[in-house]
Amino acid sequence: MPRKYTKIKELEPEVFRMKSEGKTNREIAEHFGVTREQIRELVKRHNRNERNIKQGNPPKTKGRPRKRPMTAEEEKDRRIAQLEMEVELLRDFIHLTGRK
């Protein structure tokens, strides 16, 4: 069965408003055109995150944490490198499309 990609996280405020009105997961899923399991998992993830926050555990962030904070100079250098990379990508795109 192919996976259905839906930006379910964007529906979260509306889903919980409907839950507070007493709607079932099935009714909410039919309203948005997604599966009941997607709604169930969204609610389960939300409740788990809320429970962790109440216990004093902040939500997990992606990636490995830095050992030390970046200095202002390092942040500036990182941003310059990022902008140089974007300029190079845009130049390549313009060249490939035949524009000047």
pLDDT tens per residue, range 14-73: 999 999 999 999 999 999 999 999 999 999 999 998 999 999 888 777 888 888 998 999
CA angle 59, 7, 60 (to 5 degrees): 10
The encoded tokens of residue 90 equal: 């845009």
CA distance 61 to 44: 18
Residue-level pLDDT at 31 = 93
pTM for this model (two decimals): 0.55
Rounded to whole angstroms, the Cα distance separating 79 from 61 reads 21
Instruction: Reply yes or no on whether the pLDDT at 77 is more than 90.
Output: yes
pLDDT at residue 62, as a whole number? 80
